[in-house]
Amino acid sequence: MEPIPPQLGVGERQATQHCEDQHDSVLGDANRRAARRDGDRDAPFGEGLNVDRVVIADALMMHEFELRRRRNELARQRGRGDDHDIGIPQLFDSLAIRINGPRAWSQRLTIDWDFLDEKSTYRMTLSNGALVHWPDPGPGEADLTVTLTRPQLLGMLAGTGLSGVQTVGDPGALQRLLGLLDEPDPTFAIVTP
């Protein structure tokens, strides 16, 4: 196996080392693993290797490479606006998972969202550190009612502000909600090799 290139960053060297260790563990050669731990990067493979194990090990290494490359591409593409196919409930879910629970624990607010282009209404409630939403809210008072279109919601979530958006009630409710969100990490590895 080729040695790990020295120009890789520390994290990439660790990821590559982890991948090579996975390769060795799939191959199941304890002597090779021990030699590699001792610094002999050219330690030979054991005899009687199963072809299936080699295929699996190669798949693991390729998977690691693709994950690392995809994570870097996502970091570069951050904020491109590829969320045009996401439904409004999923957009609201993306807000709900970003709520900082301990900071939001004592906050209470209700926002009604009236979408003109989709002819739908959603109610969003924050209480006990949890943000929930549902369509077609029944009667009840909201702190803020926001009337907008889906593209305006996407723009607002991207940070362009409330231009062209109609609000009735306390606009501070929306600012409080947005202030309780944690910033997402686009390079977060959902699946680690």
How much is the mean pLDDT over the chain?
75
List, by residue range, all CATH 3.30.1050.10 domains of the chain: 88-179
Greater model confidence, 142 or 1: 142
Task: Check: pTM over 0.85? Answer yes or no.
Answer: no
Q: What is the pLDDT of residues 85-97, one digit of tens each?
A: 788 999 999 999 9
pLDDT of residue 86: 81
Lowest mean pLDDT among 55-69, 111-125, 143-157: 55-69
The CATH number given to 88-179 is 3.30.1050.10
Residues in the chain, how many? Answer: 193
Nearest alpha carbon to residue 41 among 11, 2, 9, 8: 2
Helix (H, G, I), strand (E, B) or coil at 118: coil
Q: What is the pLDDT of residues 158-191, one digit of tens each?
A: 888 788 899 999 989 999 999 999 988 777 766 6
Phi-psi region of 23 (alpha: psi -120 to 50; beta: other; left: phi over 0): alpha
Contact status, residue 136 vs residue 63, Cβ threshold 8 Å: no
pLDDT of residue 139: 86
Q: Residue written as tokens 């690392």?
A: 68
Q: What is the pLDDT of residues 4-46, one digit of tens each?
A: 555 445 555 555 565 566 555 555 555 555 655 555 555 444 4
Measured CA distances, 166 to 12, 46, 76, 174 (Å): 48, 70, 34, 12
